[in-house]
């Protein structure tokens, strides 16, 4: 058993690994603090922090993760994404290339079209700031600062001393600026654009901030801590692409070969690494190597990638794991109790409703696998896709899903979706891509979706579900085998009760004093936490567990106007003594009903363990 402090005092494996990395690499003494910008040379070389943010918003922190430092070149991918979303891809891509340069970050060189090689080198970053300034004028820097803050999930300040120091010593960047102006890449005055650029580089962040910013990139632009969609998935994917090829400058090829995670470094000592659909890493240690990258930060990234096999080109996701269960409605009927004629129809046509429960990400390969599994069996009339365990839907997956739905519609197959909350991001994606497809229905609860499909099968094959139909005691399964005389005597000790829609008939925890036989309408039985156990229609009993238990274990509420025979337990006990044969028949019927429920429950358990 855990100690008194219990699990709360133990560290998760990933945090223990980061602790070991911090302890091991803190002794690394190679590299030097950047001093070509005098204010940066004041950084404490002993500072070292590691932070890792997951896509569900959890942040691990080790060491000096709250020490502020200037973001420097780590701002470049975020301003590039901002430019794409603000100005449109056509304008940005017409001014800035996306090819690696193979040169240092501050190279004064343009490509064959006299444009910056990519937005990760200084020339490209200055061009990005120029595009934002062209669009926003004097408000350009504030526009950038607010965007960086949305990525970090908090308001970010500026180190004015570093800004002044960069401005005073930034002649090389001025040379780049005038080169861009000469080639019409910059439209505005060089000094105004460089003021924006120097100030964006002086924005203050922590290792924790850049881990969250990295996780936002890894999460298709959704900040996992705040839940805000900061940038469009298009801008994010293009930004990650350029980070992959050029984020580590003239070390980029070596980096992607050894580490395999899109990353960006800054001469302030930070390194940001964003592994799509996985995590975001931020590290801070101001001692840099000859490429301008943090020595300790690189070692952390290498160790993380190697230890957990996180190279992005070594993914091992298996599309076959996307289906957690695949069955017909006979193996997992709804919690709606059915009358005999409905049961017969559903049993004869059980394979007309197929349920596929999905899990994880619906990507291109996962949806393709699902569609092939669907085609491997006879075509049903209804297909229910349960998405409650689906964590995300890629654009390729959404497109393939849409094409599958159109194919099913062409064959008159109705698609039913369950488990997607209206208004959620997944809901918005699905509704956007399935607009105009008439064969798609949705229900939040899987049980409700199955119940609706069952109703359609009953209707299609000549059955009827009449909630206003009135039944007698002779139609009750619990009273099967009783003679007309016995039923008459039982009716004489009961009374007919009337209930309004929404009226609670039985409350969990109260003493069990009566049996009920539903004559018309419908009721639902729920646990105190709201989980539905069953929906009953006319001709069914409820409260029958009073024959075995002294207190109610569930609530019973009228779904609509309903009537029921109520028979007090004390009167039923007298009836059983007067009619012992009838009493035995009722108990046998109860045992059979409980056995049937157990069979259904076992089938549902088998579904959970068979995949």
The residues annotated with a catalytic role in the active site are 73, 76, 197, 249, 267
8-state DSSP, 331: T
CA-based nearest residue to 121, from 275, 288, 291? 291
8-state DSSP, 241: H
How many other CB atoms sit within 10 Å of the CB of residue 386?
23
Residue 300 contacts residue 283 (beta carbons within 8 Å): yes
Residue 418 contacts residue 443 (beta carbons within 8 Å): yes
- 3-state SS assignment for residue 526: strand
* Residue 384: burial class (beta carbons within 10 Å; 0-12, 13-18, 19+): buried
Q: How far is CA 134 from CA 175, 198, 242, 301, 322, in A?
A: 20, 16, 23, 37, 47
Please give the structure tokens belonging to residue 479.
């009273």
Mode of pairing for the β-strands spanning 562-568 and 323-328 = unpaired
Outline where DSSP puts E strands in 285-336: 287-288, 323-328
Helices of type H across 435-500: 446-460, 484-492
Per the listing, tokens 């209804």 go with 382
- Phi and psi dihedrals of 568, rounded to 5? -60, 145
Residue 18 contacts residue 58 (beta carbons within 8 Å): no
Residue 267 contacts residue 304 (beta carbons within 8 Å): no
Residue 51 contacts residue 279 (beta carbons within 8 Å): no
Spatial separation of the C-alpha atoms in residues 398 and 410, rounded to whole Å: 18
Spatial separation of the C-alpha atoms in residues 211 and 280, rounded to whole Å: 5
Mode of pairing for the β-strands spanning 522-526 and 532-537 = antiparallel
Per the listing, tokens 């005038």 go with 178
Spatial separation of the C-alpha atoms in residues 493 and 471, rounded to whole Å: 18
Spatial separation of the C-alpha atoms in residues 167 and 38, rounded to whole Å: 11
Spatial separation of the C-alpha atoms in residues 227 and 83, rounded to whole Å: 22
Instruction: Please report the DSSP string for 381-407 in residue order.
Output: SEEEEEEEEEEEE-HHHHHHHHHHHHH
Please give the structure tokens belonging to residue 66.
């709250």
Contact residues for 129 (Cβ-Cβ < 8 A; gap 6+): 79, 140, 144, 193, 194, 196, 197, 200
How many other CB atoms sit within 10 Å of the CB of residue 395?
15
Spatial separation of the C-alpha atoms in residues 600 and 336, rounded to whole Å: 12
Residue 100 contacts residue 252 (beta carbons within 8 Å): yes
Contact residues for 163 (Cβ-Cβ < 8 A; gap 6+): 198, 199, 201, 202
CA-based nearest residue to 47, from 65, 59, 34? 65
**Which run of H or E residues covers position 586?**
helix 580-609
């Amino acid at each position: 058993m855990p100690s008194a402090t219990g699990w709360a005092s133990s560290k998760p494996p990933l945090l223990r690994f980061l602790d070991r990395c911090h302890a091991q690499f803190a002794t690394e003494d190679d590299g030097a603090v950047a001093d070509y910008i005098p204010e940066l040379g004041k950084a404490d070389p002993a500072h070292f922090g590691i932070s890792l943010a997951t896509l569900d918003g959890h942040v691990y922190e080790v060491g000096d993760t709250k020490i502020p430092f200037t973001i420097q070149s780590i701002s470049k991918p975020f301003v590039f994404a901002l430019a794409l979303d603000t100005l449109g891809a056509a304008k940005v891509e017409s001014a800035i290339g996306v090819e690696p340069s193979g040169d240092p970050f501050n190279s004064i060189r343009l490509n064959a079209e006299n444009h910056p090689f990519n937005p990760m080198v200084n020339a490209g970053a200055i061009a990005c700031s120029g595009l934002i300034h062209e669009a926003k004028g004097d408000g350009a820097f504030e526009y950038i600062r607010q965007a960086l803050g949305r990525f970090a999930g908090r308001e970010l300040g500026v180190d004015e001393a570093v800004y002044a120091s960069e401005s005073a010593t930034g002649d090389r960047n001025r040379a780049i600026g005038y080169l861009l102006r000469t080639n019409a890449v910059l439209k505005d005055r060089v000094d105004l654009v460089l003021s924006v650029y120097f100030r964006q580089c002086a924005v203050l962040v922590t290792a924790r901030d850049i881990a969250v910013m990295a996780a936002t990139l890894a999460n298709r632009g959704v900040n996992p801590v705040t839940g805000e969609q900061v940038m469009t998935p298009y801008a994010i994917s293009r930004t990650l692409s350029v980070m992959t090829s050029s984020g580590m400058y003239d070390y980029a090829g070596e980096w992607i070969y050894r580490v395999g995670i899109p990353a960006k470094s800054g001469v302030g000592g930070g390194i940001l690494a964003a592994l799509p659909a996985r995590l975001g890493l931020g590290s801070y240690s101001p001692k840099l190597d000859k490429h301008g990258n943090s020595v300790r930060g690189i070692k952390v990234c290498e160790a993380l990638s190697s230890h957990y096999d996180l190279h992005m080109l070594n993914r091992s996701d298996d599309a076959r794991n996307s289906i957690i269960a695949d069955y017909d409605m006979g193996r997992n009927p709804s919690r709606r109790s059915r009358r005999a004629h409905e049961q017969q129809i559903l049993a004869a046509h059980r394979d007309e409703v197929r349920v596929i429960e999905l899990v994880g990400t619906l990507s291109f390969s996962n949806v393709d696998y699902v569609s092939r599994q669907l085609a491997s069996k006879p075509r049903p009339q209804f297909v229910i896709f349960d998405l409650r365990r689906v964590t995300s839907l890629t654009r390729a997956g959404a497109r393939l899903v849409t094409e599958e739905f159109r194919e099913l519609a062409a064959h008159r197959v109705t698609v039913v979706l369950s488990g997607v909350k209206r208004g959620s991001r997944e809901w918005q994606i699905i509704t956007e891509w399935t607009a105009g497809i008439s064969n798609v229905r949705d229900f939040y609860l899987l049980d409700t979706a199955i119940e609706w499909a069952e109703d359609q099968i009953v209707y299609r094959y000549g059955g009827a579900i009449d909630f206003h139909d009135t039944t007698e005691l002779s139609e009750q399964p619990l009273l099967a085998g009783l003679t007309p005389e016995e039923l008459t005597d039982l009716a004489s000790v009961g009374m007919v009760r009337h209930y309004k829609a929404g009226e609670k008939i039985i409350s969990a925890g109260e003493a069990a004093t009566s049996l009920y036989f539903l004559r018309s309408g419908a009721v639902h039985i729920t646990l105190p936490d709201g989980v539905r156990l069953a929906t009953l229609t006319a001709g069914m009993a409820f409260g029958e567990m009073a024959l075995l238990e002294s207190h109610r274990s569930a609530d019973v509420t009228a779904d609509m106007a309903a009537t029921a025979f109520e028979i007090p337990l004390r009167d039923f006990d007298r009836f059983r003594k007067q009619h012992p044969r009838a009493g035995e028949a009722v108990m046998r019927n109860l045992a059979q009903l409980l056995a049937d429920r157990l069979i259904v429950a076992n089938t549902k358990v088998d579904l959970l363990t068979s995949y």
